[in-house]
Amino acid sequence: MRKYSILAIFTLICTLCFAREDFKNVVLVSSENRNIILEYYGLEKISTTLTIKDESHSVLFQETKTTPNLLTNEFLLNELSGNTFIVHLENKYKSIKTAYRFDESRDQAIPEGNAIEVFKPIFSQKGKEVTVYLLNSFQKKVTIEVIDIHGSNLVPKIITTKSAITQVFDFSSFTKKARIRVKNSQSFTKEFKF
């Protein structure tokens, strides 16, 4: 019962934190003369990294914070190669990438397409039991595979579009080593030893 209570609280907190519109995106407040001001949220005691790259993926700025408040940073992008820059915000729960292009005629940066937002799975191991948690707020297809050291599936492949995914695997009758692979728009693999 305690495990399910903790799970319900975890799911509620994640849903509330990540469903907030202001947390979903990095907000470009101003962008005149290649001087940009960004706002984004950090989470308490969780490292959040902000990276700005140019078109050739050269890092122009990178910073990691553990502040739970609204973070506002100003960046002068005089060394920007070309007119496009990518803002990448990442913590252990999710990753957001947004591309911007400077429009010289309007002297400002405008977003190119939608932000790419990826939620990351959280793995929790207790003895020979592994629980996988994943927030899937966009209800996209998620695949979970459990593979032994020989590459064989230990359980049938799980395919779901649920908004909050919790899957428990009991390895007490299986193997000494297993990998769990979670695929949403990216692939995450973690190996476990028992």
pLDDT at res. 78: 78
How many Å apart are CA 126 and CA 170, to the nearest integer? 10
- Segments making up each domain of the chain, as ranges: 2-118, 121-193
Q: What is the DSSP letter of 175?
A: -
For residue 20, count CB atoms less than 10 angstroms from its CB and return exposed for 0-12, middle for 13-18, buried for 19 or more. Answer: exposed
- C-alpha–C-alpha distance, residues 132 and 102, integer Å: 41
The better pLDDT of the pair 124, 92 is held by: 124
Residues 6+ apart with CB under 8 A from 166: 7, 11, 131, 132, 133
Euclidean distance between CA atoms 163 and 136, whole angstroms: 4
Question: Residue 15 has what pLDDT?
Answer: 46
How does residue 23 score in pLDDT terms, banded at 50, 70 and 90?
very low
Round to whole Å and give the CA distance between 153 and 179: 10
Parallel/antiparallel/unpaired status of strands 158-160 and 142-148:
antiparallel
Residue 22 pLDDT greater than 60, yes or no:
no
Element (H, E) at 51: strand 48-54
> pLDDT value at position 21?
44
For residue 28, pLDDT over 80 is answered with no
What fold is seen in the domain 121-193? Immunoglobulin-like (2.60.40)
pLDDT digits over 82-116, tens only? 889 999 988 888 888 989 998 888 878 888 988 88
Q: What does the pLDDT read at residue 133? A: 95
Per CATH, 2-118 and 121-193 having the same topology is answered yes
Helix (H, G, I), strand (E, B) or coil at 16: helix
8-22, 25-39, 63-77, 139-153: least confident range: 8-22
In 3-state terms, what secondary structure has residue 97?
strand
Of 33-37, 46-50, 58-62, 117-121, the range with the lowest mean pLDDT is 33-37
pLDDT at 63 over 70: yes
CATH code of the domain made up of 2-118: 2.60.40
pTM assigned to the model:
0.71
Distance of alpha carbon 167 from alpha carbon 132, whole angstroms? 5
Helix, strand, or coil here: 34?
helix
Q: CB-based contacts of 153: which residues, under 8 Å, 6+ apart?
A: 145, 146, 147
- The dihedral over CA atoms of 50, 120, 131, 66, expressed in degrees to the nearest 10, equals 10
